[in-house]
Structure 1
């Protein structure tokens, strides 16, 4: 489970969130480049049962080296999603209230398989001035 909170401000729709998904067992990037693969972030207030918002994620190029944290764009990682990277733009309603939130990323493959990232992302949204 992620322990570092991503800090945001109420009412904002930026910054874009960029994520890197790897298989927990093999430690290899999850290939998200297959046509028909979709991903989304389910976002809810901590302690809530209901999802506040669901935001689509889209594949981006590159592979994040786990040792250095640098992004490699050389082939085969020049293809969007091949290196397990996703980006997500905030909806206008996701950050409309201050508080503690959490999110999980769900990937749906073309054959119907669903893979949810085990790590839960933590968010702190402070009030706007």
Structure 2
């Protein structure tokens, strides 16, 4: 793993999540974004187009889903994401389609970072609820 990717991976491990209301973690779910494929920062309009396409793909699965914002702990970087109640295999297919380095998976309240790339191992991060901040309103994402 090169230094740039190692630094990006560490950012993924340090992420928090913004929700407007609590999510039950009694059922497993994935957290997936379409923003910034392969870690390359895109223009906001490009990320919005990718997000709409991902939402369309999620809707076709006919499963519950909710908006969730993935963010740096200091809120310096945010990406609109989706909490999607699918299997890890289905989540991996979506994440790969949208060229993501990884996605998160929550099972029994344990947050894991699941790579979409060969040579990187899945990592358990810890208690999902400790990474969640409930906010009255989700921010508009203008990266």
TM-score, structure 1 length as denominator? 0.33
Q: Which is greater in Rg?
A: 1
Larger RCO, structure (CA 8 Å, separation 6 or more): 1
TM-score, structure 2 length as denominator? 0.31
Between structures 1 and 2, the one with greater helix share: 2
